[in-house]
Amino acid sequence: MDEERGGGSLVLAGTPIGNVEDASPALRAALATADVIAAEDTRRLHGLLTRLGVTTSARVVSYFDGNEASRVSGLLDALAEGRTVVVVSDAGMPTVSDPGYRVVAAAVDAGLPVRVVPGPSAVLVALALSGLPTDRFCFEGFLPRKGGERRRRLSGLASEERTMVFFEAPHRLEEFLADARTAFGDDRRAAVSRELTKTWEETRRGTLAELADWAAAGVRGEITVVVAGAAPAAVSIEDALPLVAERVAAGEPFSAVVAAVAADAGLPRKSLYAAALAARKEER
């Protein structure tokens, strides 16, 4: 493990995604004691400080997509001088579809301490609300704005078996869902959450076809889309026979191999046993 050398501390601070009451005491303390606050939008930061009733003597600098690369060296200098630098995005956790990755990577390379003040996450909130499987999921963030590129990305995810979470702008939601139903099929289950933790929070659940029809009328607010993963590919007995033969050839007992492969593939053990036994006789 790499050892971190002395200096300041880079703090990634999660901010409320809607309801200011979700702000933690740790967030308030981090903002109040920071030496430098790098904010995605300085005006929104000052608004948050006002709503939280927090005062700070920190130097506030803007840190957004357009200037992220150019800000890194200055923030590293502050860290090297022993200062505490807090990074905040407009909502949620920095680095998750928001600025922060570059300065974290640079701080890690320089051996400077990095820590996190956890906060609300639209990804996890929407996933929990979706009613879809949560044991395995992947976060795809914002897909390309151009239709052709977006459709290619969705097509590449058509066989993804994990639940998928996307961010989307409200004015592109209708197009996104139309492309998703083409890539995944009309009947794929999904959920659209908007304005999470806010007064007008809403989650719509249904098939992609149903949600696309609903979105055609127009949707407002911050959007998170959760889409069910693809059903596992069906394995036939014919597909399973080479798996049995390979493991038996490697020295595993025939009966044990048949039982294991049948369980993994969801096949009837007796049927696979009979087919594998017949295949062995044909090879002799």
Residues of the chain with pLDDT below 50 are 1-6
Instruction: With beta carbons less than 8 A apart as the criterion, state whether 167 and 136 touch.
Output: no
Looking at the fold, whether 99 and 193 belong to one and the same domain comes out as no
| CATH code (residue 207) | 3.30.950.10
Looking at the fold, whether 95 and 175 belong to one and the same domain comes out as no
Q: Do the domain assignments include residue 3?
A: no
Q: Which of 69, 80, 68 is nearest to 111 (CA)?
A: 80
pLDDT for 232 equals 79
Question: For residue 217, which amino acid is it?
Answer: A
Q: Do the domain assignments include residue 232?
A: no
Q: Do the domain assignments include residue 4?
A: no
Last residue of a domain, one of 120, 148, 172: 120
For the record, the structure tokens of 170 come out as 């409200």
pLDDT for 89 equals 96
Q: Do the domain assignments include residue 1?
A: no
**DSSP code, position 232:** P
| CATH code (residue 28) | 3.40.1010.10
Domain that holds residue 252: 237-283
pLDDT for 11 equals 98
Instruction: With beta carbons less than 8 A apart as the criterion, state whether 12 and 31 touch.
Output: no
pLDDT, mean over the chain = 94
Looking at the fold, whether 215 and 241 belong to one and the same domain comes out as no
pLDDT for 80 equals 94
Last residue of a domain, one of 120, 152, 178: 120
Q: Do the domain assignments include residue 19?
A: yes
Q: Do the domain assignments include residue 162?
A: yes
Cβ neighbours for 10, distance < 8 A, ≥ 6 positions apart = 75, 79, 85, 87, 103, 104, 107, 112, 113, 114, 115
pLDDT for 263 equals 84
Q: Do the domain assignments include residue 2?
A: no
Last residue of a domain, one of 97, 120, 143: 120
Scanning the structure block, which residue is given the tokens 């009947």?
Answer: 187
What is the tally of structural domains in the chain? 3
List own/partner pairs for 271-279 with CB under 8 A and 24 or more apart.
Answer: 271/237, 272/237, 272/240, 272/241, 272/244, 275/237, 275/238, 275/241, 276/241, 276/244, 276/245, 279/241, 279/245
